[in-house]
A and B are shown apart, each in its own frame.
Chain A
Amino acid sequence: MSSVSRRPHGALVVVSIAVLLSAAGASAQEPPSSPPADAGPPASEVPPGLTPEEMAEIEKAFGGETQQGVPASTSAPPDARPGGGLPLSIPGAGSGTNFLDLSFILDVAAAGFSSKEPLQGGAHDPTRNGFNLQQLELSIGSVVDPYFRFDANIVYSQFGVEIEEAYGTTLALPYSLQVRAGQFLTRFGRMNATHPHAWDFVDQPFAMSRVFGAEGNRGLGVELSWLTPLPWFVEVTGSATDATGEATARSFLGASNDRVLSPLDLQLTGAVKQFFPLSDDLSLLWGLSAATGPNPTGYRNRTDVYGTDLYLRYRPITAASDTLVTLQVEALYRRRQVPDDVLTDYNGYAQLAWRFSQRWATAARYELGTAAHGQDGEVAADPLDPEWTKNRDRVSVNLTFWPTEFSRLRLQAARDDARWRDEADYSVFLALELVTGAHGAHAF
């Protein structure tokens, strides 16, 4: 197709993004006159002391819109101490309000590998013998105004700074909708959107770095998610993100600099997450994810990734206990169109973690990645990992000690068996993590 005939597509991208953004902006500025369907408080109808006629008059003056969605500031005014004298804002007594949560997370590790060229793929993995700076992450979070929240994770490596994430999240969209816009990790599966601080292991599963890249799947884009009105937790998420980036969209456009000419040149990601509280002590989170985007191997060649993730968590809360047992399993199926063939491969991991006292935990993980197979079922040449001609599996075990919830020591050993190599690789890590600054909230 000539570039002339593709032009309308380009316009379409601009228009569709503009529509999305303006829809988000409009609904933020002018909350709908009718409250969300599940809003039941009488407070959102005619306020006490007003007749419906008076209400109608007010509505008329505002062009038929009331400001119901606008959270009125009736409770304590914001603390008038925007961190002026303090490097970190500390909520004032009773107000619980602060303007900016700042925290630094430092991850360093000492590592030893039996191989000269270890196969560590993650950007935050220890990768060489000796001392490794895994990352220094500056995490910033704040409510911007009644409509937006801002979050950023800025990662300092030894020789540079990168904006890992920086995005806004809407707080006041109706119908349980939420939009994130900016640069963010996509909600594909469970592992992808987590940061090293939340990992049960020193390094990330190789499935992530192989399929999405060293940094995990992220990009500039926009995401819409919906908490469905079903009786159990069902969250549906869809996002459109930039499909380029060697370390962030490896199976898609990767390092190539192809211009976005149509919406099909973006990476589209969808996920459904469901949560089942099986009992007070046992809960299950199950996700299905899919991502699709162009790849640079030829005109209109695409890559599709499908995944499922399961997280089973046992934590007794009906009696005093420090026990926490989690089982996390994630499997990814990747399908790539390449010239004259379609490559498919499987990658996945399963990990079991057991926190047996307030300060101690142990965990084990098994990972598997198959070679890429062509349509004829035979192992085919993989343009991204030419050496990956056989299965690779890795077993890791570790022991973690938390002096407090703000510091962590982790000793980890692994056996990495890439069958295309002559022998298995062994590695051992001792990692230290320190968290300072605002007390972050933990995701489930």
Chain B
Amino acid sequence: MRHLHFVAAMCAALCLLAAAPARAALNVVTTVPDLAALTKAVGGEHVDVQSMALGSQDPHRVDAKPSLALALNRADLLVCVGLDLEIGWLPNLLTGSRNPRIQVGSPGYLNASQFVRVLEVPPGKVDRSEGDVHPGGNPHYLYDPRQGAAVARGIAERLAQLDAKHAADYRANAAKLTAEIDKARADWEKRLAGLRGAPVIAFHKTTAYLADWLGFEPIAFLEPKPGIPPNPSHVAGVLVLARQRKARMVLIESYYNDREAKMLANMIPAPLVTLHGGTDFRAGETYIQHINEMVGGLEKGLAGAKGG
């Protein structure tokens, strides 16, 4: 009997715990920190935002930690990159979240790729002899601030739908952010005008949108095929091509091991530019600051190339 009392007391306590945190703000979880930064900029004080992956983390390979399922369990909105970027880790978490509000197809599930002009959609049938291809197109669109602005507008619309009371705020914030991005973009484009038409080597196929925006030409990738680590003969081939075409720089994301990229950059020689994989949202960095930092790196690389 005493056991029953104890169990009843525990249940009561848990129910109280469950009821206690009444929040005013929308609870938003994003898969990558760039989306978190955009959501925070648009949502302001009306949203609590959390990113599942860190900016220093490869978004293809995130551990499906149960704590992330817990975050999803309490989310009102999930914003993801889509195009299969998160396919290796998000689906299980989504099922495990037991949260009907954010399941695929619900208003609380937002696939941000719908707002983007998707590049590198494979024209025909794909198979994995081409490496780990994304059949829906290249998912690394957040490097392009034009796409970032489009995504921010899309997030604002969804927030407005979920929280109609503050719809005007969301739309105003999105307009403000878009204007800021456009203003900064004019400056960034001026600073990186020298990149237009420049041949560039990259590590992974993450540069499509960046190249589309800045007009450089990714002539080769250190990975022989997406997801396959570099090997000597491929790197040798890339080196020959890089020298032939006078590659201006080597680009790599901070979450990849840069051993081969460093060596290649030394041998070409060309500057090595490390791109931060994402906004350092946890430290309070904004999306604009993140892109600005990236532009700074590219600018330095460009200056280095001229010097060399």
Taking CB as reference atom, which chain A residue is nearest B122?
A90
Binary flags per residue of A60-80, CB closer than 8 Å to B gives 1, else 0: 000000000101111110100
23 A-B interface contacts by CB (under 8 A): A37-B18, A41-B101, A42-B163, A71-B101, A73-B105, A75-B107, A96-B113, A149-B95, A172-B103, A173-B98, A227-B96, A227-B98, A235-B66, A283-B65, A318-B54, A320-B255, A321-B257, A404-B128, A404-B227, A405-B88, A441-B87, A441-B93, A442-B89
Measured CA separation A285–B108 after assembly (Å): 29
B148 CB to closest chain A CB (Å) equals 17
Is B242 in contact with chain A by the CB < 8 A criterion?
no
Assess whether B110 is interfacial by the CB under 8 Å rule.
Answer: yes
- If the complex has contacts A48-B165, A92-B136, A235-B66, are A74 and B107 also in contact, measured as CB distance less than 8 A? yes
Selected contact of B98 from candidates A37, A76, A177, A313, CB within 8 Å: A177
Measured in the bound complex, the distance between the Cα atoms of B93 and A405 in whole Å is: 20
* B186 at interface by CB-CB < 8 Å: no
**Residue of B at shortest CB range from A69?**
B100
Could you tell me which residues of chain B, from 2 to 39, have a CB within 8 Å of some CB in chain A?
14-15, 17-19, 21-27
- Option from A71, A273, A315, A321 in Cβ contact (under 8 Å) with B100: A71
Contact with B along A79-109 (1 / 0, CB 8 A): 0000000100011111111000000000000
| CB contact list, B98-144 vs A, under 8 A | 98-101, 103-111, 113-114, 116, 118, 121, 125-126, 128, 131-132, 135-137
Contact of B65 among A37, A94, A277 (CB under 8 A): A277
Is A320's CB under 8 angstroms from B19's CB? no
Asked if A444 is an interface residue, CB under 8 A from chain B, the answer is yes
Cα distance A207–B98 in the bound complex, in angstroms: 32
Contact A42 B164 (CB under 8 A): yes
Q: Which of B22, B106, B110, B132 has its CB near the most chain A CB atoms (within 10 A)?
A: B106
Nearest opposing residue in chain B for A280, CB measure? B54
Contacts of A443 in B (CB 8 A): 64, 92
* Interface check A420, CB cutoff 8 A: no
Q: Is the CB of A405 within 8 A of B56?
A: no
Contacts of B109 in A (CB 8 A): 75
Tell me, in angstroms, the Cα distance from A440 to B87 when the chains sit together. Answer: 7
Q: Smallest Cβ distance from A38 to chain B, in angstroms? A: 6
A95:B163 contact, CB within 8 angstroms: no
B187 — which chain A residues lie within 8 A by C-beta? none
The verdict on A317 contacting B65 (CB below 8 Å), with A96-B82, A146-B103, A173-B98 known, is no
Complex Cα spacing A424 to B60, Å: 44
Determine, out of B69-77, B210-218, B243-251, B265-273, the stretch whose residues face the partner at the interface.
Answer: B69-77
Within 8 Å by CB of B83, from A96, A280, A322, lies A96
**Would B100 and A43 count as touching, CB distance under 8 A?**
no
With the chains together, A171 CA to B102 CA distance in Å?
10
- Does A143 count as interface, using CB distance less than 8 angstroms? yes
**Quick one: which of A367-402 are within 8 Å of B by CB?**
none
Could you list which residues of chain B lie within 8 angstroms of chain A, going by C-beta atoms?
14-15, 17-19, 21-27, 54, 56-57, 63-67, 69-70, 73-74, 76, 80, 82-84, 87-93, 95-101, 103-111, 113-114, 116, 118, 121, 125-126, 128, 131-132, 135-137, 161-165, 167, 227-229, 254-258
Contacts of B258 in A (CB 8 A): 320
Query: How far does the Cβ of B238 sit from chain A's closest Cβ, in whole Å?
Result: 18
Question: Within the complex, what minimum Cβ distance (angstroms) separates A100 from chain B?
Answer: 13
Chain B residue nearest to A440 in the complex (CB): B88
Tell me whether B82 and A444 are in contact (CB under 8 A). no
> Do A146 and B105 touch across chains, with their CB atoms under 8 A apart?
yes
Residue from B25, B93, B99 whose CB has the most chain A CB atoms within 10 Å: B99
User: In the bound complex, what is the Cα–Cα distance between A42 and B22 (angstroms)?
Assistant: 11
Tell me whether B82 and A97 are in contact (CB under 8 A).
Answer: no
Beyond A403-B228, A441-B93, list 9 extra A-B contacts (CB 8 Å).
Answer: A43-B107, A96-B82, A97-B105, A172-B103, A177-B98, A229-B18, A230-B17, A439-B84, A443-B92
CB distance from A240 to the nearest CB of B (A): 19
CB-based nearest A residue for B61: A405
Report yes or no: A406 in contact with B128, Cβ–Cβ below 8 A: yes
Residues of A that sit less than 8 Å from B by CB: 31, 37-44, 47-49, 69, 71-76, 78, 86, 90-97, 143, 146, 149, 169, 171-173, 175-178, 227-230, 232-233, 235, 273, 275, 277, 280, 283, 285, 313, 315, 317-322, 358-359, 403-406, 436, 439-444
Which B residues lie within 8 Å of A86 (CB)? 125
Q: Across the interface, do B114 and A76 meet the contact criterion of CB distance under 8 Å?
A: yes
Assuming the A-B contacts A90-B126, A172-B100, A442-B92, are A277 and B18 also in contact, with contact meaning beta carbons closer than 8 angstroms in the complex?
no
Q: Is the CB of A405 within 8 A of B132?
A: yes
Q: Which of A76, A94, A227, A317 contacts B69 (CB 8 A)?
A: A227
Chain A, residue nearest B258 (CB): A320
Contact in complex: A37, B100 (CB < 8 Å): no
Q: B89 to chain A: closest CB distance in Å?
A: 6
Interface pair A41/B114, CB less than 8 Å apart:
no
| Chain A residue with the shortest CB-CB distance to B60 | A405
User: Nearest chain A CB to B92's CB is how many angstroms away?
Assistant: 4
Query: Nearest Cβ in chain B — how far from A137, in angstroms?
Result: 17
Chain A residues within 8 Å of B18, by CB: 37-38, 175, 229
State whether A228 and B101 are in contact (beta carbons under 8 Å apart), knowing that A42-B163, A76-B111, A233-B67 are contacts in the complex: no
- Asked if A441 meets B66 with Cβ closer than 8 Å, knowing A37-B18, A43-B107, A359-B229, the reply is no
CB contacts (< 8 Å) of A317 on chain B: these are 54, 56-57, 63
